Structure 1
Amino acid sequence: MPQLDLTADQLLTTTRAVRRRLDLTRPVDRALVEECLALATQAPTGRNRQRWDFVVVTDPARRAALAGLYRLGLTHPRDPVARTGLDRTTEDTARRLRLAVSAQHLFDHLHEVPVLVVPCVRIEGRHELAGHVGQANTWGSILPAVWQFMLAARSRGLGTAWTTPHLHYEREAAELLGIPYETVAQAALVPLAHTLGTDFRPGPRVDTARITHWDTW
């Protein structure tokens, strides 16, 4: 499949979280996934240890079971986070409604997405994730690779979305996929599919002047 004709800036600004525009009927060629993974592993990683692993799930039964854990994580989270108050402006409400519709679509159809990718990082033990420094080092060794995977997917007409609800049931997902739970941490669940159209645009973002601090906060 030919790559999309995108400049580097276009690729960086139009790689969106795709939920409603994932093509649920078109298979994804294994070679495309492997190309994206090869580019992902060119990402920087702490001390160049390259601790990443990627579980690529295409089996329909396993996809359905993994989607079930994702839904369970949303409806019955084991570690619910307290919600903060929301800005009730018209623009904010409209944006959240659009997001809710998009999220509901993925909730309903995740099991139909042709490929589910679970990026993982090898750890010395669960204690490594207990402290702030350990967490920063660990996630800093997998997140850049996943983002490069998503960029590579976008350049090939594929859509992705970063999701984490299934991590409420990470141990069950590990048993499902044969992942050694004590020494391998799952970072996310990334649906992967061809997109319905390729005309994605930059998303609304806060002005950088509001979030940039020169020399001091």
Structure 2
Amino acid sequence: MTFSILGYAAYRIYQELFRERHVGDIVNLETDSDIKVQFNLNSFEVIKGTPYLMSTISSQQNYRQSYYEKEAASIRNFLFFNTSDQSAWKLIPNNNSLFVSYQTLGLSTPPENVIKKVQGIWYEVVTADSDGDKRLTASDRKTIAVSDFAGKNYTEVIRQVDQVLGTHQPNEATFLVFYTSDAKNFVTEINIPTRKVVVTKPLPPLE
């Protein structure tokens, strides 16, 4: 009986040590690892009030780390589709970045309180390994970018963001982003139609 228990325990330890690990929102940049990458399309979502659909392009990286296999999944790009003429295009030319989050821009309409027409899309994206760990993760510095509702005219508007604290759209043309950078808090006003920064202001010190 004792040997059976020990044998089962050893088997469970072996399973735990050598099983495949799954992690999200990580892009492994190591050049000395045998990394296998597969890109996939995901479910398409309607861009409300337009003839366009969008889907995330995700990557699955499989590689060996120490004595176990590891799988990392992340959003690397977007595919847009025009239902009027069946044309399609990617948001950016390559899949080198990590998209941490994204959200459509548009004012909600009462009483349903839902967006009936999307005016643009904003993205929180990691473009470089700022902390030097050979990975792109949410711990790296982020860039805030904006595109039009068709996924064209992609424009990077705020760089060197440590953390996004919140966003607000007070009217059809204005998008506010609250964030930290270098241990200081800021708010940046972005003009949605032109995808340009109107003004950046520091927030008051907390101490």
Classify the TM-score, shorter chain.
Answer: under 0.3
TM-score (norm 2): 0.20
Between Structure 1 and Structure 2, whose CA radius of gyration is higher? Answer: 2
Q: Which has the higher contact order (CA 8 A, sep 6+)?
A: 1
- Higher strand fraction (1 or 2): 2
